[in-house]
Chain A
Amino acid sequence: MRNIVTIARKELQGYFASPIAYVVLGFFALLYGYFFYTLLWYFDRQSMQVAPGSGMTMNVNQMLIGPVFMNVSVIVLFIMPMITMRTYAEEKRSGTIELLLTSPLTDWQIILGKFLGALLLYTVMLSVTLIHVGTLFYFGDPEWKPVATGYLGLLLMGGCFISAGLLISSLTKNQIVAGMVTFAVFLLLWVINWIGQSLGPTGQAIVTHLSITDHLDDFARGIIDTKHLVYYASFIVFGLFLTAKSVDSERWRG
């Protein structure tokens, strides 16, 4: 455990020692801020149209926070490759992988350390949204439960992206290639449900199941469904498992 934390700490230090962390955080804050205010403006306009005393109430959770979470998931898709691209690729290029692999660490400690490091940066990034969500709680009266499950969903979804990103980074020495391939794969996982719509009901069911972001819907509505938990957990574990295989086979090939 101590080793995992040491690696995670080194990863996090690495993000903040290079421009990556700042680019990631700045980019996220910018895009997120834009989406948030657009949605807020839209929400505001709609609530104006609801006649007072008509019995209709605007639900902040459904109308604002839910969509905000879905938008965050799209931003994450663009930003996550920047977080994961160098994890393995750069260690292999610079030769520091030799240090890690000749230290008394197991491959899993290294992988989990890197996973945790990326997840921590991602968490820091998500915490930017707490400011806005906090404002809503201050001025409005949203339910806290869908907000909490929404964050849980975002964390799990981020975990999936990181897991896939680690795997792709472990397959190359070039972090730029890693970043681009990761982005392409994420994009595919995102648009896959659009493709699914043209495949009829069965095709759509399968494809929706595969889409990382679709599983987020229920979380954003305040529902914790085991189906989604299992999906995210198995996606993460499977990705890390393949990463371990990739690192090991690299070792044989030298």
Chain B
Amino acid sequence: MIEVQHLSKRYGPFTAVDDVSFNVGAGEILGFLGPNGAGKTTTMRIITGYMPATDGAVSVAGYDVFSQPIEAKKRTGYLPETPPLYPDMTVRDYVTFVARIKGVPAREVKSRVEDVMRKTHVADMASRHCGKLSKGYKQRVGLAQALIHNPDVLVLDEPTAGLDPKQIIEARQLITELGGSHTVVLSTHILPEVSQTCHRVVIINKGKVVAVDTPANLTARLRGSETLYLQVHAPGADVAAGLSHVAGVTRVKADLHDNGLAAVEVDSEQGRDVRRELAAAVVHQGWGLLELRPMRMSLEDIFLSLTTEDAGDAVEPAAPAPATEAADA
């Protein structure tokens, strides 16, 4: 339904989106995950035809957004980061206006407007001015606006940002309902968002796609590389050097504290349990082993490890290139 091919966007000399490619199938909910400044908004603005790309191609429902913008836009609903509301308009007038400019046939406008206001739970505020709504209502009116022409594709930029927990749950519910009848792309820099609503996740950092997979696979893939956490009492010793010789260990990261305690993270080869050998090595060096446990990688850790500066040395197996290849395989 959405095809993004080798998309790049430069603002002057600065590359905000760098050779991004992904597809979204009909009825799928795709999460677009990345920290602030990753290029999510820019990518979405290109998909929705708000701005042209520097390079690459995007098609929506089979229409190229650059050469057939009108056709593509008719099939796209877009909720920008801040809902694009006119504060002086009432909710009903506003949604009606959007219905008209989105090309809803004149005789259907009225019923569509009432329909969508009911669906997004804003009907009780229909006569209220948009400027006087609470944040949660503004977001829902924004959603109503995006849905009004029953588009094939919905692009939602941080749809739950700034909402309170109850509103977030409602928003997620609504988005989950929308998947199936619409193709949804939503962006977020908050993890639980994607694991709860999305079928697939595109992780983006500094304009580049880092990984594409289902939330479950992403977790599984990273859990494949076992990471252990140890707490060791080893005053003055070089713990990292002492443990990196253990067979099967691929990486050791140790933080030595003043009190002689060291917090150690150890990565090992996939599927290899090195706990016994590690314990033996610690004891052999004459150190005290205070704690030894597997570190469970939540999607949150994956996200952090994939998108923070030192992604490379935090989790070796998840380095960008192999991760994307694995996703395609």
Contact = CB atoms under 8 A, between A and B. Distances in A.
A53 interface: no
Interface in A78-101: 94-101
Contacts of B45: 98, 254
A253 B16 CA distance: 12
A103 interface: yes
Interface stretch (A13-21, A40-48, A224-232): A13-21
A124 interface: no
B101 A101 contact: no
A3 interface: yes
Interface string A51-81: 0000000000000000000000000000000
B73 A96 contact: no
B93 interface: yes
Nearest to B142: A99
A104 B52 contact: no
A154 interface: no
A17 B48 contact: no
A104 B102 contact: yes
A102 B100 contact: no
Interface in B73-122: 73-74, 76, 78, 80-82, 84-89, 93, 97-98, 100-103, 106
B86 A105 contact: no
Interface in B36-51: 42, 45, 48-51
A10 interface: yes
Contact of A100 (B70, B76, B87, B101): B101
A178 interface: no
Contact of A99 (B9, B98, B106): B98
A6 interface: yes
Given A18-B88, A96-B84, A104-B70, A254 B42 contact: yes
A10 B88 CA distance: 11
A83 B122 CA distance: 32
A254 B98 CA distance: 22
B51 A103 contact: no
A105 B80 contact: no
Contact of A17 (B49, B89, B98): B89
Given A254-B45, A254-B51, A104 B97 contact: no
A104 B102 CA distance: 6
Contacts of A97: 84
Interface residues of A, number: 26
Given A98-B78, A104-B102, A14 B84 contact: no
Categorize the interface residue count of chain B.
Answer: 20 to 34
Contacts of B85: 94, 96
Nearest to A106: B70
A7 interface: yes
A139 interface: no
A247 to B, nearest CB: 12
Contact of A94 (B69, B76, B84, B93): B84
B145 A99 contact: yes
Interface string B1-31: 0000000010100000000000000000000
A251 B76 contact: no
A102 B52 contact: no
B80 A98 contact: yes
A132 to B, nearest CB: 32
Contacts of B48: 102
A252 B51 contact: yes
A98 B101 contact: no
Nearest to B85: A96
A3 B48 CA distance: 19
Interface string A237-253: 00000000000000111
A17 B88 contact: yes
A236 to B, nearest CB: 24
A73 B69 CA distance: 41
A251 B102 contact: no
B86 A3 contact: no
Q: Which of A95, A98, A106 has the most CB of B within 10 A?
A: A98
B94 to A, nearest CB: 9
Interface of A: 2-3, 6-7, 10, 13-14, 17-18, 94-106, 251-254
Given A101-B50, A103-B102, A104-B74, 10 more contacts: A2-B106, A6-B101, A7-B101, A94-B85, A99-B98, A101-B49, A104-B102, A251-B52, A252-B51, A254-B45
Which 8 pairs show the lowest CB-CB distances between chains A and B? Answer: A17-B88, A99-B84, A104-B73, A96-B84, A102-B48, A6-B100, A103-B101, A104-B74
21 contacts: A2-B106, A3-B100, A3-B101, A6-B97, A13-B89, A13-B93, A18-B88, A94-B84, A94-B85, A95-B82, A95-B84, A98-B50, A98-B80, A98-B84, A99-B84, A101-B49, A103-B101, A103-B102, A105-B101, A106-B70, A254-B51
